[in-house]
Amino acid sequence: MSEQVKIPEKKTTEDIRAQRKHECALGYQLLAALKWGDLGDGHISARDPVHTDCFWMLPYGAAYQSATESDLILVSDKGTTVEGDGAVNMAGYYIHHPILAARPDLVSAVHVHTGWGTPFSSEVRPIQPISQEACIFFEDHAIFDDDEVQIQSVDAGKRIADKLAKSRAIILRNHGLLTTGDSVAEAVGSFVLLERVAEVHMKVNNPKTISASAARFAKQDLIKGGAGRMAFASLLKRHIQTTTLN
């Protein structure tokens, strides 16, 4: 008698919501572990699977290092709190809402001020294929060359979304880095990878670039399993001591 093959149970929308919120809370904890966002200068979004024009994020002023799923609030397309307790981080709303609205393929976006990403963004130059991690973003990033660093309107966020287009990341001039993903884990892990790329660019004065063909080959090999997601899982083991990802 042949052995029966067990068919995995299909995830419900509640399962998907719980997973996205779980990854979002862990993402904030990870930012804190890496000593980013101490001034509240960052945000992670997680699109709700039911109310797809809404997203989860930490409320304004919440501590990153102790973030839990119950701390997150559901932000509406109008910038109001739909569920949870706390005030909306309006800068986060102005940036994340237009991006998620323009990109139905995305689940999450991540932005936080960092030691290498912010200075790199001030040089307003594209990423070159000068390291293995840089290949991930080769021909797959945009530059928002605009001096409106104090994003205070949905229109400003729309300009960022327009410039991002279909790219996985964008460099915000004089402001820092922003990454996206089809999961929160992918977006957060990609951000850490991009920060490492920015560090390499700032430290090396005269790099020898990887050829375009070699960079494209490396990129396809690195992203096929989800480069950001794999980085996220590894970072959690190192900094948060958890492996609870599905």
Q: State pLDDT tens for residues 188-201.
A: 999 999 999 999 99
* CATH code of domain 13-240: 3.40.225.10
Token duo for residue 223: 């992203």
- Give the Cα separation of 174 and 86 in Å (integer): 29
Reduced to 3 states (helix: H, G, I; strand: E, B; else coil), residue 161 is helix
Whether the model pTM is above 0.85: yes
Average pLDDT score over residue span 143-167: 94
Laid out side by side, the sheet with 108-112 consists of 42-44, 108-112, 176-181, 169-172, 141-144
Reduced to 3 states (helix: H, G, I; strand: E, B; else coil), residue 190 is helix
Listed in sequence order, the residues at least 6 apart from 223 whose beta carbon sits closer than 8 Å to its beta carbon are 136
Give the percent of the chain with pLDDT over 70.
94
Token duo for residue 49: 């699977």
- Give the Cα separation of 124 and 109 in Å (integer): 21
Kindly report, residue by residue over 57-102, the tens digit of the pLDDT: 999 999 999 999 999 999 999 999 999 999 999 999 999 999 999 9
Question: What is the DSSP-derived secondary structure letter of residue 127?
Answer: P
- Give the Cα separation of 29 and 36 in Å (integer): 10
Beta bridge partners of 111: 43, 178
Average pLDDT score over residue span 223-230: 94
Question: Is the model more confident about 3 or about 161?
Answer: 161
Average pLDDT score over residue span 106-124: 97
- Give the Cα separation of 234 and 79 in Å (integer): 33
Cα distance between the two ends of the chain: 32
pLDDT at position 148 is 85
Per-chain mean pLDDT for the chain: 94
Reduced to 3 states (helix: H, G, I; strand: E, B; else coil), residue 120 is helix
To 5 degrees, how large is the angle CA 184–CA 65–CA 16?
A: 25
Listed in sequence order, the residues at least 6 apart from 78 whose beta carbon sits closer than 8 Å to its beta carbon are none
pLDDT at position 1 is 38
Q: Are 106 and 181 in contact (CB under 8 A)?
A: yes
Q: Is the pLDDT of residue 103 over 70?
A: yes
Of the candidates 121, 61, 71, 68, the residue with the CA atom closest to the CA atom of residue 91: 61
- Give the Cα separation of 118 and 111 in Å (integer): 11
Q: Are 193 and 136 in contact (CB under 8 A)?
A: yes
